[in-house]
């Protein structure tokens, strides 16, 4: 643990140094992040202009729904985005390196220095503050205790999915199509309340890729909306941390299994 | 004491059969036929602590696959391995602490960072104590001349500089065993020499066990007494370089500088390889004739100002073994 903490500290030091070295690139990414989230929120606004309420949710509710997802997603991108690079490391043969170092392989992946900076997280925090105020969610003790846990749980759900997809690259080497599908699934289907989708999609987003726990169920709890998608009780919205942990453990077991099947590329 | 031990180590890769062309690729989408490729068939070897062994074989012989099993990257299909008391693929982290690896074609340094930062990060990963780190860095810098480019981002280093950095990185944590996979590939003469010097010193001074795979047999001649040859996934020779040379290198060459100019030149039992002016290269079978006999015959007839003996080149011996197979019975017969 002491060793891992030391490595992790160094990892952040290097990230910040690298970010400063490539300042222009960083600024362009930051501009892109603002445009990306801005466009998503604008799209919600346009839809809700035409249909003032979707499944009982108005624009103010959806602004909060988006804020909760954005925060969890930004936390994931800040802490765990390197997991998405595993297929590339496998394809280029760089992954071997991870297996000959005396630290847990997943930890090493997460702590691979790159150009990570908590800019998206800061943006998400600011947006979430505004969205909470705008949606009129009552800030009480439950909110203060559970929102951080739910956000972390949501980031773990995203990590779990990413880890499973990355593990598949041990067998298939290229998994771009699958990555694309999962990214679309997460980004498109977390923007609206679950009740607007068909039953298959609802089940998929709850039990297979549990993205609905990143924002839909917790937002329903805080906004006092009944769940008309699967008829879950409101308390389901507080399960996100548990689901996130369980999902990551499952994904990690699969990862360890995959490591023993890893064949490398070009023997 | 054995530090590395493998018994009938075997690795079979399974891959999808693809027929050539687009039609074949489309067919492969629907019908999955698997093809098994035996990369390592049966490798049994024992290395004592402190040995420096050259592990040689043609492309595709299974060298890299063996190294990947020894380092714990790949799980063997069957057979047993023990490295410093640990089964590498079952206990990767414990094994990793004992070993250092240099893959000549891949770097473990961080591309965007100054060399110094890579070392700092590796120090944390391997939990090297500060004093030990300082001592090692001072020692490595002295042999490899790292000081000149410690502050340069790795992407700006020449291949030779980068390789020197990689060697220091692999040895920073005082590993008991070092695996070097094609460490001098693509380097110029000077950088090769620096690397060989470094490997030799680490092995002698620290007693580090070294396994070296290479295409450049000069690496092996310079560094190792023992070599293991593999072909098609099996060990075909395991022994000293000297034994291989005397048993398999049937011919030696005398380089003779004649004191006078002779129209005719011939020595019984000798074959003229080349003749340029007064310098003649004379090849003879060392199983039939001793060097002494050859030299005596030569001096009986000609006046000579200088003689040198060239040992059979290990490279040509090894090439011949791959072509004809290693065969104990073939050793005695003249070729």
- A94 within some domain: yes
Residue A264 lies in a domain: no
Q: Are B221 and B245 in contact (CB under 8 A)?
A: no
Model pLDDT, residue B326: 66
Does position A233 have pLDDT exceeding 90, yes or no?
yes
Q: Cα distance from A18 to chain B (closest Cα, Å)?
A: 7
Mutation for B interface: A100, A256, A261, most B CBs within 10 A: A100
Residues 6+ apart with CB under 8 A from B325: B231, B236
In this complex, do B71 and A264 lie within 8 Å of one another by their Cβ atoms? Answer: no
Average pLDDT over every residue of B120-140? 94
Q: Mean pLDDT, to the nearest integer, of B276-302?
A: 88
Mutation test of the interface with chain A: which of B67, B72, B92, B104, choosing the one with the most A Cβ atoms within 10 A? B92
Q: Do A99 and B124 touch (CB under 8 A)?
A: no
Q: For residue A62, is it within any domain?
A: yes
Q: Which pLDDT band, with edges at 50, 70 and 90, does B335 fall under?
A: very low
pLDDT tens for each residue of B149-205: 999 999 999 999 999 999 999 999 999 999 999 888 888 888 888 899 999 999 999
The residue-averaged pLDDT of B313-317 equals: 74
Residues of B in contact with A85 (CB under 8 A): none
- CB contact B291 to A (< 8 Å): no
The answer as to whether A265 is a domain residue is no
Lowest mean pLDDT segment, chosen from A201-215, B244-258, B262-276 = B244-258
CB–CB of A113 and B113 under 8 A? yes
d(CA A231, nearest CA chain B) in Å:
41
User: Among A23, A37, A29, A39, which Cα is nearest to A119's?
Assistant: A29
Complex ipTM: 0.84
Which of B73, B94, B108 is closest, CB to CB, to A99? B73
Q: Determine which of B73, B129, B179, B211 to mutate to test the interface with A (most A C-beta atoms within 10 Å).
A: B73
pLDDT tens figures, B216-225: 888 888 888 8
* Contacting residues of B for A113, CB less than 8 Å apart: 110, 113, 121
- Residue A20 falls inside a structural domain: yes
Domains of chain B from N-terminus onward: 2-244 (3.40.50.300), 250-311 (3.30.70)
Under the banding of pLDDT at 50, 70 and 90, the label for residue B327 is low
Interface touch B72/A101, C-beta < 8 Å: no
Q: Is the pLDDT of residue B114 over 50?
A: yes
Tell me the C-alpha to C-alpha distance, in Å, between residue B224 and each of B52, B53, B153, B228. Answer: 5, 6, 34, 11
Tell me the residue range of the domain where A219 lies.
2-259
- Count the Cβ atoms, other than its own, within 10 Å of residue B78: 11
A267: in domain: no
Q: What is the pLDDT of residue B250?
A: 76
pLDDT of residue B262: 86
pLDDT recorded at residue B331: 44
Percent of chain B with pLDDT over 90: 49
Across chain B, mean pLDDT equals 87
At residue A266, the pLDDT reads: 57
pLDDT at residue B330, as a whole number:
45
Give B 37-66 residues with CB within 8 A of chain A: 39, 64-65
d(CA B18, CA A66): 46
3-state secondary structure of B157: coil
Per the structure, how many domains does chain A have? Answer: 1
What average pLDDT does this structure show over B93-97?
A: 95
pLDDT at site B328:
54
Predicted confidence at residue B200, as pLDDT, reads 93
What number is the average pLDDT over the span B240-244?
84
Inform me whether the pLDDT recorded for B17 exceeds 80. Answer: no
Q: What percent of chain A has pLDDT over 90?
A: 73
| pLDDT tens-place string over residues B44-92 | 999 999 999 999 988 888 999 999 999 999 999 999 999 999 999 999 9
């Amino acid at each position: 643990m002491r060793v891992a903490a030391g490595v992790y500290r160094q990892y952040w030091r290097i990230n910040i140094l690298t970010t400063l070295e490539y300042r222009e690139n960083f600024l362009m990414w930051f501009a892109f992040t603002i445009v990306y989230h801005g466009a998503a929120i604008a799209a919600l606004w346009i839809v809700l202009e035409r249909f003032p309420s979707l499944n009982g949710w108005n624009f103010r509710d959806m602004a909060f729904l988006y804020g909760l997802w954005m925060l969890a997603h930004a936390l994931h991108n800040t802490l765990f985005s390197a997991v998405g690079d595993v297929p590339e490391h496998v394809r280029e043969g760089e992954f071997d390196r991870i297996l000959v170092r005396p630290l847990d392989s997943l930890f090493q992946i997460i702590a691979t220095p790159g150009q990570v900076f908590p800019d998206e997280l800061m943006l998400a925090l600011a947006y979430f503050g505004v969205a909470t105020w705008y949606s009129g969610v009552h800030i009480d003790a439950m909110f203060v205790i559970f929102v951080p846990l739910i956000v972390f749980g949501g980031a773990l759900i995203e990590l779990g999915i990413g880890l499973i997809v990355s593990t598949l690259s041990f067998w298939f080497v290229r998994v771009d199509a699958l990555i694309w599908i999962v990214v679309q699934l997460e980004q498109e289907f977390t923007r609206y309340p679950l009740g607007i989708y068909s039953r298959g999609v609802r089940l998929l987003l709850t039990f297979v890729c549990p993205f609905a726990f990143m924002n839909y169920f917790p937002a329903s709890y805080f906004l006092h909306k009944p769940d008309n998608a699967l008829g879950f009780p409101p308390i389901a919205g507080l399960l996100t941390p548990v689901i996130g942990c369980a999902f990551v453990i499952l994904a990690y077991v699969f990862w360890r299994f995959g490591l023993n099947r890893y064949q490398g590329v070009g023997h | 004491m054995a530090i590395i031990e493998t018994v009938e180590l075997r690795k079979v890769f399974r891959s999808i059969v693809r027929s050539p062309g687009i039609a074949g690729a489309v067919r492969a989408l629907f019908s999955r036929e698997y093809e098994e490729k035996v990369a390592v068939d049966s490798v049994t070897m024992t290395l004592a602590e402190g040995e420096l062994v050259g592990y040689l074989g043609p492309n595709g012989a299974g060298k890299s696959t063996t190294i990947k099993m020894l380092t714990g990257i790949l799980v063997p299909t069957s057979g047993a391995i023990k490295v410093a008391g640990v089964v590498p693929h079952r206990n990767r982290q414990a094994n990793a602490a004992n070993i250092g690896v240099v893959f000549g074609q891949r770097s473990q340094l961080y591309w965007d960072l100054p060399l110094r930062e890579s070392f700092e990060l590796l120090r944390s990963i391997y939990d090297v104590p500060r004093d030990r780190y300082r001592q090692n860095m001072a020692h490595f810098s002295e042999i490899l001349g790292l000081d000149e480019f410690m502050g340069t981002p790795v992407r700006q280093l020449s291949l030779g500089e980068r390789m020197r950095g990689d060697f220091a990185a692999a040895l920073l944590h005082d590993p008991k065993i070092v695996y070097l996979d094609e460490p001098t590939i693509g380097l110029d003469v000077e950088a090769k020499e620096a690397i060989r010097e470094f490997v030799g010193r680490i092995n002698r001074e620290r007693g580090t066990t070294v396994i070296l795979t290479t295409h450049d047999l000069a690496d092996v001649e310079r560094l190792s007494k023992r070599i293991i040859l593999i072909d098609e996934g099996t060990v075909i020779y395991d022994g000293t370089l000297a034994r291989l040379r005397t048993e398999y290198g049937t011919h030696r060459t005398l380089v003779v500088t004649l004191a006078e100019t002779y129209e005719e030149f011939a020595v019984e039992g000798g074959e003229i390889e080349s003749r340029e002016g007064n310098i003649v290269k004379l090849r003879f079978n060392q199983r039939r004739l001793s060097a002494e006999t050859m030299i005596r015959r030569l001096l009986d007839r000609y006046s000579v100002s200088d003689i040198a003996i060239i040992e059979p080149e290990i490279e040509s011996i090894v090439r011949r073994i791959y072509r004809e197979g290693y065969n104990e019975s073939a050793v005695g017969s003249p070729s």
